[in-house]
A and B are shown apart, each in its own frame.
Chain A
Amino acid sequence: MPVEKNPAPDPHSEPSKAVFDFEGRSLEGIAGEPIAKSLFRAGIRILSYSVKYHRPRGIHCGRGRCGMCHMEVDGIPGIPTCNTPLENGMKIRRQDFRPFFAPVLTAAARRFPLPAGFYYRRFTKPVFLKNLFMDSLRKMAGVGRVTLDEEERLAGIIPDCLGTFDRIKPHYDVIVVGAGLSGMSAALSAASSVSGKRGDASGPQRNEAEQDNMRILLMDEYPNPGGHSIGHQDDSGLLNKRDDLAREVAEHPLIHVASGTLAQGFYPPSTILIAPTGGSIASAQGMKQVTARAFIFATGAYDIIPLFENNELPGIFGSRAARLFLERDGYSLGKTAAVYGTGAELERTVSLLLSKSIDITAVVEAGANPRETPARGSVPESVQRISNAHLVSANGKRWIDSATLITEAGRGERITLRCNMLCTAFRGQPAYELPHQAKFNFSLSDDVLDEERIMIPDEVERRDATGTACILAGEAAGETNWRRKIEQGKEAGEKAANAASAIKETGEKA
C-alpha cells in the first residue's frame, strides 16, 4: 500500500511557512497543519456564528463533523477547517452573517422568536418576494454557489489518497469499515478464514494482478490506520499491537487497505456508497458503489457533550476531540482545563492533559457510582477532585472562562471553577448511521446518569434474507476495552468470512 500524506505535519521534515489571507489580514502559518490551528495561533478563535442567535462557535469536534469550524476557503464554502491542511496563499473567511446585518437580525430573532425552519416556512408569499427573501437569506447565511470546475483546486487540498480510491474494485467478499483496532483484526481474521479455504498466497509485494486477488476491503477515513488508539501514548502494549496489526493488514495479499475513504451510506442488502476524503471534502472523484457478501462496521464512537447552559461555547469539547487536538494536531486550546466525566474515559483524559503540561483546575466526576472502577494510578493526588457533581453552566462571552457546578448531584453547593478549556469525558456514542441503515435496532441504555445514556445496538449481527451479513465490532458495538475490541474484531471477521463463503456456495450451486 502506498504511503499516504498525513494532514498532520511530519516531524522529520522542515516545516515550511505558509502565508494566508484571513478576511483581509495577512497571517502566517505552517503549510500542512490544520487551518484552524494556524488561525488559533494567530488569535482567531471564533470560526463561525450560529444562524439564529448569532452565538460564537469555535473548533469543537476536530473531525469535520460538527459544522462549527466550517469556513470559506478560496471561495469554496463549507470547508471544515479543523482537519483541512493549510496551503500557501489560501484566502479564508467566515461564511456567516455580514457584520452589518448580524446585530439587527440577532436582536430581531431574540425579540420575535423565529420558529425552526423559518427560512422555508416564513415569507413564502407572494412568490417573487419569496425568491428575494431566499436570495438575501442565502447571502447572509454565507451559503455559496455550486461550482463544478473546482477539480484541480480541490485535488490540491485533498491528501494523496485518490490513488487508492481509484483502485477500489466494484465487488469484494468482505468489506470492513473502520481501520481501528477491531477493524484491522476483523480484516485479518476474515482474510485468514478466506485464504484457509481457497489457498491463495503471495508475497508482500503487490502487482496489478495481485490487486485482483484482494477479496477484503478495509477502509478508513483517515490516512493512517489506528482509529481511536490516538491519545493512548502511555499504553505501549496497545501501541505495539496497533502497529503490528497495521503492518499485517498492509502486507496481507488478500486485504485491500483503502485509506482516506469514507463510507457515505449503506443500501441493504449489499451495497455501500463510498467517497474519498481529504479533510472531509468529498472529492472531485465523486462517489462509488461497492458491493460485498458481508460487512463489518467497526466505525467507532463519538463524543456527546452533555446538556448544560452554554454547552456549545467555544472552548468546550469532548475527550475524543481533545485527543485529536493534542496528539494528531499537536496543540492545546487552553492552558487551564476542567474535566467533567465518568470512569476510565475521565482518567485517561486527565492523564493525557497532564502529560501535555496543562493545568487541571478540577476533575469533576459526574454521579456517585462510576461505571467502571477507574485506574487512578497515573493521576497525582494533588489534582483537585469533585465527586458526584453536576455541571450546570459554562460561562464566558466569546470563549469559556469558567464553569459552574453543583455538588451532591445538583443538591449541594454551587462551585465556580476558572478554566479556559472544558473537556467532557464520557462513554462515546457508537457511530449508529451505517448500522441503522443496515436495519439494526437501537435502544437507549438505562444508565442512571443522563450524561451516560447512549443508543446501543440491540444485536451485533444481522443477516439479510439473501444471507448477507452485517456485523458490528469494537466501539461501534459498545465495547471500550482495547483487548476485547481486538477479540471481538477477530470473531466478527470469522463470521463474516463464513457468511461470505456460504453465499458463494449457494450461488455456485444455483
Chain B
Amino acid sequence: MGKTIICHCEDISIEELFSAVEQGYKDIESIKRYTGIATGTCQGKCCLIQTLRALASGDDRSSPKTASESAASTPLKGIAVKMPTIRQPVIPARIDRIIKAGEKAVKKATGKA
C-alpha cells in the first residue's frame, strides 16, 4: 500500500514513470514501450490521460501544481505530450473470436474461388 498507481493493469507507479523519464525516455511512444503503460487490459482507457497529465505537469502554467506535486522537481519540461498510436481492436476482444472471424473469412474466400 501507499503507492500511487498510474497504470493499474500493469501495476506501474508514478515513481516508475518518472524514473523512466529520468532515464531519458522523453516521448510517449518510448515511455509506453519501456514502462508498459497503456498496454494492459484497459488499453490506456484509465491510465493514458493520467500519464499525459503527469508528463505535462512540468508545463509552465502560472498556477499552483496539484496532482503529482512531488513530480514538479523532475525535469519534465519539453516533453511532447501527444497521443500514442491506438490500434484496433479498441476494446479487448477474446482471441478465439478473432480466430473465428478469420476462419469465416477464409471459408468465404475459398468457397468463392
Interface positions of A (Cβ within 8 A of B): 50-53, 55, 57, 61, 64-68, 70, 78, 116-117, 146-148, 150, 262-267, 273, 275, 280-288, 302, 304-312, 366-367, 390, 397, 409-411, 429, 432-434, 436-437, 442-444, 446, 448-451, 453-455
User: What are 6 inter-chain pairs, A to B, with CB distance below 8 A?
Assistant: A61-B46, A116-B37, A273-B89, A307-B53, A309-B3, A429-B49
Closest 6 CB pairs between A and B? A265-B88, A67-B41, A286-B101, A116-B36, A52-B11, A450-B67
Chain B residues lying within 8 Å of A409, measured Cβ to Cβ, are 64, 66
Bound complex: CA A287 to CA B89 (Å): 10
Q: How far is the CB of A51 from chain B (nearest CB, A)?
A: 5
Residues of A within 8 A of B8 (CB): 50, 57, 66-68, 312
CB contacts under 8 Å to A, within B44-65, are 45-46, 49-50, 52-54, 56-57, 61, 63-65
A345 vs B45: C-alpha distance in the bound complex, in angstroms?
A: 20
CA distance A116 to B94 in the complex (A): 23
- Contact for B93 among A287, A434, A443, A454, CB less than 8 A: A287
- Asked if B68 and A397 make an inter-chain contact with CB atoms under 8 angstroms apart, the answer reads no
B84-99 interface with A by 8 A CB criterion: 86-99
Set B4, B10, B100: member contacting A148, Cβ < 8 A: B100
Nearest-CB distance from A393 to chain B (Å)? Answer: 8
Do B104 and A286 have beta carbons less than 8 Å apart?
Answer: yes
Q: Are A410 and B52 in contact (CB under 8 A)?
A: no
B34: contacting residue among A116, A283, A302, A454, CB under 8 A: A116
Q: Which residues of B contact A (CB under 8 A)?
A: 1-6, 8-12, 14, 16, 34-37, 40-42, 45-46, 49-50, 52-54, 56-57, 61, 63-69, 81-83, 86-102, 104
Pick the contact of B2: A306, A310, A437, A448 (CB < 8 A).
A310
Give the complex CA separation of A133 and B89 in angstroms: 28
Chain B residue nearest to A309 (CB atoms) is B4
| CB-based contact A263/B97 at 8 Å | no
- Are B83 and A442 closer than 8 Å at their CB atoms? yes
Task: Tell me the complex Cα distance, A306–B5, Å.
Answer: 10
Task: Indicate if the CB atoms of B91 and A410 lie closer than 8 Å.
Answer: no
User: B91, A146: Cβ atoms under 8 Å?
Assistant: no
Least Cβ–Cβ distance between B48 and chain A, in angstroms:
8
When distances are taken between beta carbons in the complex, the residues of chain A under 8 Å from B9 are 51, 66-67
Query: Which residues of the other chain, A, contact B99 by a CB distance below 8 angstroms?
Result: 146, 148
Complex Cα–Cα for A18 and B12 (A): 38
Partner of A67 from the list B40, B93, B98, B100 (CB cut-off 8 Å) is B40
Q: Is the CB of A287 within 8 A of B49?
A: no
CB neighbours of B66 from chain A (8 A): 366-367, 390, 409-410, 449-451
